[in-house]
Amino acid sequence: MIEKEGIPATRKNGADISKDTLQKNGCHQESGIRVRELKAIEFPAADTIWVEYHETTGNPVTDRIFAAFAGDQIVSLARCRRHPDGMDIDGIFTPAEHRRKGYSRLAVGALVEACHNDNLYMHAVRHLIDFYTKQGFIPIAEKELPPTIRERYIWAGGNLEGAEVQPMYRKAGLFF
Amino acid sequence: MKTFQLFNSSSLFTRTRALTLAVATVIALAINLIGMITGITVLLSHIIYIPIILAAYWFPRRGLVFSTLIAVAYGALIALILPLDILLIIATLFRMTFFILIGGVVSFLSAKLRESEQQLHEIIEFLPYPTFAVNRKGEVIAWNQAVEEMTGVKKAEILKKGDYAYSVAFYGIKRPALLDLILSPNPETEAWYPQIKEEGKKLVSEVFIPHFKEGKGIHLRIAATALVDGNGNITGAIESIRDITEQVMTESALQNTSSRLNTIAGIVRHDISRKLAGLYGILSIGVMKFDDPDVLFFIEALKDSAQGIQRQIDISREFKDIGTSPPTWIPVQETVLDAVGRLGIGGVSFRSWTERLEIFADPHLPAVFFHIFDATIKDTDGVTTVIITYHIRENGAAILIETDGAGIETGIKESLFTQRDERYGNGLFLAHEICSISNMTIRETGTPKKGTRFEILIPAEGYRIV
């Protein structure tokens, strides 16, 4: 495999980021898990993780991607995408073998804190509504979503309940 | 002869044009005369447009009169030579009208073009900065009054001259000038200039010419750009020159003054520090020698004041280097971590989410964060968490430093970044000064009793996301 600058070749179920890169960027550590935002050059590592998540890919111009690391391996991801009329949270994904360890809470918590200067919107999977409520999100009606964010689920034809998702909103601001 | 009188010319250039026009007129009328005699009247009349267009283009003010005269001459020839019938009369009148019309239209357009050229010429001529231009062959096509005054070379002496005549006027030798780089990029030309910068479509450089101003020398800032035609092809180049001698001398004097002041300030700082060390010693002995609580309280107050003086000395040491190095692109996350490291405060949680942000700032940027952290943590109560984020806004970006704790009272906010010697010291003033070097500003927008919120506002061109 070809290695890119600062990002060693990836392996299945988790992208590697060099330890030097982690330390240099001053990651936030909790129980051996570090959380930080990825630089544009590291987006391909996130894309590798997201292959299992609808083959999502990051765009350095519009996206901010936050990753939880166990050692030098990405174990959870969350993305905030800038739309013309609002900020959309998606791409929250933890590979199957790393689930139920609280990694997603760390990645989403980092994203919410880093992006707290804007109102945030998302389409939450219904069984995770409580999880996002703890991060400061509240359920809203679909029509309250900014139009370009609403477009993501236009295929559901207004039946988001049937699609098992709930629009949610977090007002800008920090909650110490 | 008539044509010469009509255009009343005196210069060789105008006389040549008038002669050409006279010949063209005679030929056109002669061909038409032959045509009339041989019975061809339809196509040959178009030849008359040639002298009409030439006259209208070269002599726009007389174009209409000329076209009228030639139309009358054409009509007279028809009337004299051909048997007139109603159809021929109408056709001839139409042609005569068109001759006059074409002459009028071309005259009008040509006059407008001349007017525009004249305006452009006058703009260049009366520019306050010495300016000259060359065509593709390197021949001088414009040489304004200011450049005449600077070099002493008159326009009449240099117009149409090539072979680097303009360089002789400036540098005393035939050599390529900055505008030659526009016409043909050449490393040898670049070697004549110490540093060439590209500013948009301009090439800019600075030179020193020692023999100007009676041997005193002159510092010049030169800007060169291309002259292009409607299709975007380079047809020449123009060079504008500005005398920056005064500016260079002022900068040099300021640097000398700054250097001397720094030396004096360093000596004063050193002396005060020595005296302070002595004062600390005396106060320490005083604490051991006296046990009267009033005296001890008095000594403690003196110690506090001495510490305040020491802090001012430390800040003045940082002030002396600000702005001495040019601003550069700085990664914010590393800078924040550097400042946190210098702060050495345990028990406070710092969380910075600025990994992708780089800003164009003075190399002393770590001092900005250091003094903001210092002011928020040491001078406000109850701070346990500091969160640093960035926010992209319509006119730029903002770095936000937010804390919990008591916050800053509304009455103090106004004077937070001014020079003072009370609470918050001069650290925030220093931070403000460092930011202002690269057009950044700082403000405090926190809510009293809920925490502090410092915003560093960065102009659109002063940040990038990596």
Distance between CA B236 and CA B137 in Å, rounded? 8
CB interface of B with A, residues 391-430, below 8 Å: 391-392, 398, 400, 402, 404
| Inter-chain CB proximity B353 and A113 less than 8 Å | yes
* B305-309, Cβ contacts within 8 angstroms, sequence gap of 24 or more: B306/B276, B306/B279, B306/B280, B308/B421, B309/B272, B309/B276
Token code pair at residue B160: 């149409």
Distance CA B180, CA B226 (A): 10
Structural fold of domain B328-465: Heat Shock Protein 90 (3.30.565)
Q: What are phi and psi of B93, to 5 degrees?
A: -60, -40
CATH class of B131-243: alpha beta
What is the predicted pLDDT for the residue at A10? Answer: 34
Of A26, A40, A82, nearest to B352 by CB-CB distance is: A26
As a whole number of angstroms, the distance between CA A139 and CA A116 comes to 17
| Residue B74 and residue B48 in contact, taking contact as beta carbons nearer than 8 Å | yes
Which range among A47-51, A161-165, B402-406 shows the weakest confidence by mean pLDDT?
A161-165
Is-contact A67 A55, C-beta < 8 A? no
Collect all residues of chain A within an 8 Å Cβ-Cβ radius of residue B355. Answer: 25, 36-39
Contacts with B, A 115-144, CB within 8 Å? 115-118
What are the chain A neighbours of B391 within 8 Å (beta carbons)? 117-118
Nearest chain B alpha carbon to A66: B353
Residue A7 is predicted with a pLDDT of 30
The yes-or-no verdict on residue A155 having pLDDT over 80 is no
Contact A28, A66 (CB under 8 A): no
Backbone angles phi, psi at A172, to 5 degrees: -60, 140
Q: CA-to-CA distance for A62 and A45, rounded, in angstroms?
A: 17
* A114–B353 CB contact, under 8 Å: yes
Residue A27, pLDDT score: 53
CB contact under 8 A, B351 and A25: no
Mind giving me the DSSP string for B306-366?
HHHHHHHHHHHHHHTTTTSS--EEEEHHHHHHHHHHHH---S-EEEE--TTEEEEE-TTHH
Please give the interface size between A and B, counted as residue pairs whose CB atoms are below 8 Å apart.
Answer: 43
Contacts of A1 (CB under 8 A, 6+ apart): A9, A10
pLDDT of residue A28: 62
| Structure tokens belonging to residue B37 | 């005699």
What pLDDT shows up at residue B232? 85
**For chain B, domain boundaries:** 2-125, 131-243, 249-319, 328-465
The confidence score (pLDDT) of residue A18 equals 43
Question: Hey, is the C-beta of B267 within 8 angstroms of any chain A C-beta?
Answer: no
Quote the DSSP letter at residue B446. Answer: P
**CA closest to A39 among chain B residues:** B356
In whole angstroms, what is the distance from residue A68 CA to residue A74 CA?
6
Residues in chain A closer than 8 A to B332 (CB atoms): none
Q: Provide DSSP, B112-173.
A: HHHHHHHHHHHHHHT-SS-EEEEETTS-EEEE-HHHHHHH---HHHHTT--TTHHHHHHHSS
Q: Which CATH class is domain A19-170?
A: alpha beta
A-chain residue closest to B404, CA distance? A176
Q: Answer whether A30 touches B (CB < 8 Å).
A: no
> B60: Cβ–Cβ under 8 A, 6 or more apart, which residues?
B106, B107, B108, B110, B111, B114
- Residue A78 has a pLDDT of 97
List the single residue in A24, A37, A82 with the smallest CB-CB distance to B356.
A37
- Cα(A22)–Cα(A32) distance, rounded to whole angstroms? 12
Residue B292 and residue B297: Cα distance in Å, rounded?
9
SS3 call for A98: helix
Whether B131-243 shares its CATH topology with B328-465 is answered: no
Cβ within 8 Å, pair A40-B465: yes
State the Cα–Cα distance between residues B458 and B394, nearest whole angstrom: 11
CB A122 within 8 A of CB A108: no
> Cβ of A82 under 8 Å from any chain B Cβ?
yes
For residue B333, the chain A residues in CB contact (below 8 A) are 25-26
Q: Measured between CB atoms, which of A24, A28, A40 is closest to B351?
A: A28
The token duo for B120 is 């452009």
Q: What angle do CA B464, A18, B363 make, to 5 degrees?
A: 35
The rounded distance, in Å, linking the Cα atoms of B305 and B272 is 13
Q: Is B85 exposed, middle or buried (0-12, 13-18, 19+ CB in 10 A)?
A: exposed
> What does DSSP say about strands B349-352 and B385-393: parallel, antiparallel, or unpaired?
parallel
Chain B environment of A114 (Cβ under 8 Å): 353, 389
How many Cβ atoms from other residues are within 10 Å of residue A53's Cβ?
Answer: 14
Sites in chain B below the pLDDT cut of 50: 1-9, 423-424
pLDDT at A121: 97
In this complex, the residue of A38, A82, A117 whose CB is nearest that of residue B400 is A117
Is B337–A64 a contact, with Cβ atoms under 8 angstroms apart? no
Q: Best mutation site among B335, B355, B388 for testing chain A: the one with the most A CBs within 10 Å?
A: B355
CA dihedral A161, A162, A165, A168 (to 10 degrees): -20
Q: Between B355, B398, B404, which is nearest A25 by CB? A: B355
The answer to whether the CB atoms of A176 and B355 lie below 8 A apart is: no
Helix axes B332-343, B365-378, angle to 10 degrees: 50
CA atoms of B464 and B329, how far apart (whole Å): 9
- Whether chain B has a CB inside 8 Å of the CB on A158: the answer is no
Q: Report the half-sphere exposure of B129 (CA within 13 A, side-chain side).
A: 15
Q: How far apart are CA B237 and CA B127, in angstroms?
A: 16
Residue found under tokens 């005193």: B216
Residue B337: its chain A contacts at CB < 8 A? 26
Q: What residue in A sits closest to B394 (Cα-Cα)? A: A84
Residue of A nearest to B397 (CA): A117
Q: How confident is the model at residue A156 (pLDDT cuts 50, 70, 90)?
A: low
More confident residue, B173 or A21: B173
| pLDDT, tens digit (0-9, with 9 covering 90-100), for A90-146 | 999 999 999 999 999 999 999 999 999 999 999 999 999 999 999 999 999 999 999
ipTM for the predicted complex = 0.84
Interface of B with A in 166-205 (CB under 8 A): none
Q: Which residue has the higher pLDDT, A14 or B337?
A: B337
Q: How confident is the model at residue A14 (pLDDT cuts 50, 70, 90)?
A: very low
Given a cut of 50, whether residue A6 has pLDDT beyond it is no
